[in-house]
Amino acid sequence: MMRPDRTIYVGVDLHKQHHTAVMIDCWNKKLGEIRFDNKPSAFPLLLKEVKKHTKKGMSVVYGLEDVGGFGRALAVYLTENGCSVKEVNAKLANNRRKSQVTVQKSDSWDAECVAKVLRDELPNLPDAKPIDLYWAISQLVTQRKWQAKSLSGMVKRLHQQVSYHYPSYKAFFSEIDGKTALAFWHKYPSPGHLNGMTVDELAKFLRKLSNYALSTKKAEQMLTLIAEDGDTTRDFQEKRDFIVKGLVRNIRFYGRELNRIEREIASLMNQLGFQLETMTGIDLVTAAELVAEIGDIHRFATSDKLARFAGVAPIAVGSGNKYRNYKSKQGNRELHDMLKALAIRQIAVTRTKKEPRNPYFHAYYEQRMAEGKTKQQAIVCIMRKLVNVVHYLMRTKAAYVMPTVPEKDAG
């Protein structure tokens, strides 16, 4: 265990092209500073500079914010050289910077703030373990988010363009970007392409694409609605038709890319052996997102440490004889938002039978509400329990087993 009076704290401000490191001792005295390029060949300069301030018998610990981004190469280098490396939440360092009487902003001061957080919060900070498998999953998850965002934007634009040509288009298909719908928009981007089309001809087209789910009745409905909408043809109609066809091609492309990315994610997740998908509300993508943010679960010895990392653990504030717990606004906000969305899914009910998707958490939610908690407070309570579940499932690689709902709550 590190003795504070025998430890050097090194905070590093990370950037794409270069990094700045500041060394302090346990009394917050600045010992030194170095600026070096963000490339492996320059990293030994940091160790050489730190060694100048390290006396015999002293320990050194490094604090990095962005260990999954610009700081990953440095984290890998330090770890491989046997150094102690901690992950410092950027919000903690930013709060430290803003807490000063005179707010400064420079690479040197930012690095010193990271070092100060490292000194004060050392027992609570997770180890930075830049394992390639987790990094690859994180990169794929990020890529999928961008692809999904692009796909969503394309679908939104298709809604806009199709509405000009088919005012009643929402009654045509259940999903505007379904397989049958996309085929229809591409072949008939505007009503003019349907001139002379009979019900039987359109029904044959729909029947083949939808595996006989849509046929004559749907064809009659669509042609009737198109006739009732009136003539929507305008000058340069072919240019707007071109836009619709282009949007359909893009939507199909992004859809295929999402499928490819998800197959790659699945292949990596299989190597980890987790069974997170056995829990209600967690699919492959959600499981990968959790793993991408948490990383190696062994960084967190207890679920309490994972809860603090996720910003779920309450903050105790007291004065005199009065104490109160406040919701934390610190921690990893991405992971916090995932847990919140997962908590909401736990208390959801099925559309048809209106039965709870997760009876245990639904009963727990109602119990907290009966105790006088607000909806948000009850959801935070579920989030904290979910941290325990996720921590256990990842450490043991076990499957989720639904807890038994007590009789008094089951009714």
Phi and psi torsions of 172, nearest 5°: -75, -50
Q: Are 5 and 24 in contact (CB under 8 A)?
A: no
Q: What is the predicted pLDDT for the residue at 328? A: 63
Q: Is the pLDDT at 373 greater than 60, yes or no?
A: yes
Residue with tokens 């000194």: 119
Q: Is residue 11 classed as helix, strand or coil in its secondary structure?
A: strand
Q: Is the pLDDT at 56 greater than 70, yes or no?
A: yes
- Which band of pLDDT confidence, cut at 50, 70 and 90, is reported for residue 66? confident
Instruction: Tell me the C-alpha distance between 97 and 11, whole Å.
Output: 13
Share of the chain above pLDDT 90, in %: 77
Model pLDDT for residues 112-150, shown as the tens digit of each residue = 999 999 999 898 888 888 888 999 999 999 999 999 999
Model pLDDT for residues 43-55, shown as the tens digit of each residue = 999 999 999 999 8
What single string gives the DSSP state of each residue in 320-383?
Answer: TTEEEEE----S-HHHHHHHHHHHHHHT-B-TTT--BSSHHHHHHHHHHHHTT--HHHHHHHHH
The pTM of the full predicted model, rounded to 2 decimals, is: 0.78
Model pLDDT for residues 230-239, shown as the tens digit of each residue = 999 999 999 9
Model pLDDT for residues 158-186, shown as the tens digit of each residue = 999 999 999 999 999 999 999 999 999 99
* Strands (DSSP E) found in 195-275: none
- Which band of pLDDT confidence, cut at 50, 70 and 90, is reported for residue 325? low
Least confident range of 56-70, 89-103, 327-341: 89-103
Instruction: Tell me the C-alpha distance between 123 and 108, whole Å.
Output: 24
Q: Is the pLDDT at 322 greater than 80, yes or no?
A: no
- Which band of pLDDT confidence, cut at 50, 70 and 90, is reported for residue 318? very low
Domains and CATH numbers, the chain: 4-130 (3.30.420.10), 135-268 (1.10.287), 273-410 (no CATH)
Q: Is the pLDDT at 316 greater than 90, yes or no?
A: no
Instruction: Tell me the C-alpha distance between 165 and 225, whole Å.
Output: 12
Q: Is the pLDDT at 89 greater than 90, yes or no?
A: no
